Structure 1
Amino acid sequence: MTTDVLLERRGPLGLVTLNRPKALNALDLGMIRALHPALEAWAKEPEVKAVVIRGAGGRAFCAGGDVRAVAASLGSPVPEGQEPLSRAFFREEYRLNQLIHHYPKPYVALVDGICMGGGLGLSVHGSHRVVTERLVLAMPETAIGLFPDVGGGWFLPRFPGEAGTWLGLTGARCNAAEAMWLGFGTQHVTHDRLEVVVDALAAADWSAGPARDVATRVLEGFTTEPGPAPLKEHRDVINRCFAKDSVEEILAALGAEGTPWAEEMRATLGRMSPSSLKLTLRQLRRCRGLPYDEVVDVEYRLSQHTTALPDFREGIRAVLVDKDNRPRWNPPTLAEVREADVEACFAPVRP
């Protein structure tokens, strides 16, 4: 049993602590395999009224999936009787996200500090997402040759207007107020009150109504105003520019705006993997309106195809290994990304 996930019962609560602080609680396969059966067991135990999940170390809730390990495994011999990590990791991560999405009890994520990529998969699908003033929220996958997965095709289109398209393409970072405006956060509570929140949930009268209502009432008792959301100032530009159906049109629309913020977004997009940008836009458009479980199937296909492409390993090298932030994308420009190659990433894969 891994010590990277701490599991405990605190009265009527099942309490999860992601305990990999040196890695910003990045989610690896061992953690997934510890979490899934625990959540399944708690879902069936009548004495467990709610689940709370948090991160250890004070810096991050969860900085994402451990894609560095996935990239390192590519091309290495697979031990007999095992399957490649690139297959097992994404399949089991997505199944964990599905379990959370359909969880029958209150699932309260205390999202304090960094929450990126797979961290959203562990939080956004639950019933309650408590964010603090220290939140840094992002889906940065286009910078590493991937796409916004863990259900990004389902939840990003549900953010206001085209904010989800903007977030998924640019990998931009959002604060707590912006996360509340987007609809990611359900309550804002200051960092120094989180332990008291856990105690209050443990002491709650869970017979006083439906469990989700009880959890909401307890959390609302600690809620504070997060302040203004700077992102709202740009929503009209986001909606105008990111409603386009090609990345080239989005770039042209941003150029026509002529503002410093629009130019900053153009520059940001220019640093991302051209293949990932085109793939992500198609993912978000194709998945818009699909039931979540169908989105999971689409994203598993995408995970298997994209991790086999050169941009994934190059993005991991540039951002997470060498950290020179100078990726050499292949193909290097949007114009060189072939339509057939983008479409091929949506093709079925071996289970």
Structure 2
Amino acid sequence: MDSILNFIADPHVLTFADHCAGRIRLDRPKALHSLDLGMVRAMTEALLDWRHDDDVRIVLIDHAGGRGFCAGGDVVTIAKDVADGAGTAGRDFFFEEYRLNHLMYTYPKPGVVFMDGVVMGGGVGIACPCRYRIVTERTVFAMPETTIGLFPDVGGGRYLSRLRGRAAQYLALTSARLDGADCIALGLANFYVPSDQLDAVKAEIAASPEKAESILAGAAVTPPPATITDQLPQIDRLFASDDFEEIMAALQADGSDWASNVLAMLAKRSPTACKVSLRMLVESPRQLHFVDEMRMEYAIVSRMYRSPDFAEGVRALLIEKTGDPRWSPATAAEVTDAMVDAYFQPLPPAEAWTPLPPTSRKG
């Protein structure tokens, strides 16, 4: 097929056919390509259109420019909507975003994502379902949800809980940032390609999708040493517990500079979000299918985005940018097991998350 640009539904997502590839290109650089509802719907529509199109044999996902692939979801809009007394923006966004995540996870055609630049939150949700995940020297990967009173969602429970050792607990609680080499070391990505080679790689894959893996292997280089590798013994030892207070106590008792720095990070995180995140990492491996993971995460997020911590975290980090969130409850000791349990209760059937019907052709 010829490379014909075809806008679908939203000006911030370009979807087009490129030889044998369906191309999805995020184009919202001023917001680091953060996803809003229109972008989610445009991506969903494109994937549904291509699902039964024999001319489209592979899907390539990248961004149009700037230093971010995708910095997450548009949480500022959601927080303002809650403050105005509505709350429907969050419900609609997360419901449809999770449908997109599930569609990508179960998609019958291989996905190739170019994680060049910032990949956080919702960006992880559209990157990790892809078969081929490419990082570069510019990659910055993180799940920073505990900084705004949320938890690593968009399938984060499934992806993180399958990492080696206690890396999941460390990443979920601290929002630690990984570079491309770290992502390769942990298995979050499978090819490290210099950023100046990406355009050529995309063109080759679009023309010969059956050779995608060999094309990527040929372009990939050995990444530099991964910093996370040296930290793993400390992470496994100090994050061994599923109890947040026990993790904090272990870090305090350790007394190393590394442990002190981690403690300083955790002191700025929502205690409720941290405890919910730890519980999710216990529950996620028990979810038999990805659809079960999405149903559980939606029940959690539908409660958390209405909580005081979410509004406060978004205010302090993204709106006023003061960096001084006042969490409620303020300490881990005040967050009881019963409070955490409440986030994990199934929603009533009329409110529960559901995937797209199997026969859907449009979003």
Match of 1:337 in 2: 335
Match of 1:307 in 2: 305
- The answer to whether 1:196 aligns with 2:193 is no
Shift of 1:77: 5.8
Match of 2:22 in 1: 14
Match of 1:317 in 2: 315
Counterpart contact for 2:76–2:314, Cα < 8 Å: yes
Match of 1:125 in 2: 129
Match of 1:113 in 2: 117
Counterpart contact for 1:106–1:215, Cα < 8 Å: no
Q: 2:127 and 2:37 mapped to 1: Cα distance?
A: 17
Match of 1:280 in 2: 277
TM-superposition CA deviations, 1:13-52 (whole Å, max 9, x none): 1111100000000000000011101011112111111000
Q: Which runs of 5+ in 2 are unaligned?
A: 1-8, 353-363
Shift of 1:348: 2.2
- The answer to whether 1:49 aligns with 2:57 is yes
Match of 1:136 among 140, 146, 157: 140
Q: Which runs of 5+ in 1 are unaligned?
A: none
TM-superposition CA deviations, 1:69-89 (whole Å, max 9, x none): 1111114365xxxx8111110
Q: 1:347 and 1:178 mapped to 2: Cα distance?
A: 35
- The answer to whether 1:232 aligns with 2:229 is yes
- TM-score when scaled to structure 2? 0.91
- The answer to whether 1:65 aligns with 2:73 is yes
Q: 3-state SS of the aligned residue for 1:74? A: helix
Q: 3-state SS of the aligned residue for 1:278? A: helix
Shift of 1:289: 4.1
TM-superposition CA deviations, 1:192-228 (whole Å, max 9, x none): 1111011111221x5xxxx4xx321111110011110
Counterpart contact for 1:103–1:126, Cα < 8 Å: no
Q: 1:154 and 1:237 mapped to 2: Cα distance?
A: 23
Q: 2:128 and 2:201 mapped to 1: Cα distance?
A: 19
- The answer to whether 1:256 aligns with 2:241 is no
Q: 1:264 and 1:272 mapped to 2: Cα distance?
A: 13
AA at the equivalent of 1:329: W
Q: 1:262 and 1:108 mapped to 2: Cα distance?
A: 37
AA at the equivalent of 1:285: V
- The answer to whether 1:96 aligns with 2:100 is yes
Which deviates more, 55-64 or 309-318? Answer: 55-64
Q: 3-state SS of the aligned residue for 2:267? A: helix
Match of 2:326 among 322, 328, 340: 328
Counterpart contact for 1:25–1:63, Cα < 8 Å: yes
Q: 2:242 and 2:127 mapped to 1: Cα distance?
A: 29
TM-superposition CA deviations, 1:94-148 (whole Å, max 9, x none): 1100111111111000010000000000100111111010000000000000000
Q: 1:144 and 1:65 mapped to 2: Cα distance?
A: 12
Counterpart contact for 2:312–2:326, Cα < 8 Å: yes
Counterpart contact for 1:131–1:189, Cα < 8 Å: yes
Name the % identity.
Answer: 44
Q: 3-state SS of the aligned residue for 1:293? A: helix
Counterpart contact for 2:32–2:66, Cα < 8 Å: no
Q: 1:133 and 1:184 mapped to 2: Cα distance?
A: 15
Q: 2:321 and 2:247 mapped to 1: Cα distance?
A: 28
* Count of residues in Structure 1 that have an aligned counterpart in Structure 2: 340
TM-superposition CA deviations, 1:173-200 (whole Å, max 9, x none): 0001001011111101011111101111
Following superposition of structure 1 onto structure 2, how do residues 164-203 of structure 1 map, counting pairs within 5 Å?
164-203=168-207
Query: Cα RMSD (Å) of the superposition?
Result: 1.2
Counterpart contact for 1:128–1:187, Cα < 8 Å: yes
Q: 1:220 and 1:231 mapped to 2: Cα distance?
A: 23
Which deviates more, 185-194 or 252-261? Answer: 252-261
Counterpart contact for 2:59–2:112, Cα < 8 Å: yes
Match of 1:219 in 2: 216
Q: 3-state SS of the aligned residue for 1:137? A: strand
Q: 1:151 and 1:336 mapped to 2: Cα distance?
A: 28
Instruction: Give the 4+ runs in structure 1 shifted more than 4 A.
Output: none
Shift of 1:266: 1.2
Match of 2:163 among 159, 166, 169: 159
Match of 2:154 in 1: 150
Q: 2:198 and 2:31 mapped to 1: Cα distance?
A: 22
Match of 1:23 among 22, 26, 31: 31
Counterpart contact for 1:275–1:334, Cα < 8 Å: yes
Q: 1:113 and 1:162 mapped to 2: Cα distance?
A: 25
